[in-house]
Amino acid sequence: MAEDKRILRLPRSSEIPSIGLYLDQTVKYINRVFEPISCVEVTPSMVSNYVKKKYIEKPVKKLYDRDQIRKLIFIVLAKLVLSMDHIGILLDKGRGMPVDDKAYDEFCSKIERELNSVFGVDGSVNKEDNGGEDRFMDTLLSAIAYYIYINHCIDKIK
């Protein structure tokens, strides 16, 4: 069997626990999902805050279900580039959030593809581009441009 060289592998909808998870279990599960990338960590207070702000539904009998966990995974990734206010706008307007199993699984595939494209399949930076400095700067400039574009789009959604 070939080794999986993806930078990040998100659980598909059917792989997310179908039994409800308590808050601490949910946080541990999500942090384990994002363990391969060091820029993401979720805390119980963050999840509780998302519930308070109605970004995710209140847990039933203190248990978070598959839909809530999918939404948390989306929020965690979106939060890397968006403010929580902007994420709230997207969720309120029904934009961006993969709402069903198929859309969520497609979302997972797309982000994995993008990460592999940026990092290269094996996760290394091409040595021919000045030790990675040129690629780093190009990627930084692209990220800035996309950030500005995304914020412009959200302002139009408001």
DSSP 28-44: HHHHHHTTTSTT----H
Does the global pTM surpass 0.85?
no
Residues of the chain whose pLDDT is less than 70?
Answer: 1-6, 96, 121-132
What is the rounded distance in angstroms from the CA atom of residue 58 to the CA atom of residue 55?
9
3-state secondary structure of 60: strand
| pLDDT score at 1 | 34
CA nearest to 141, candidates 130, 133, 151: 133
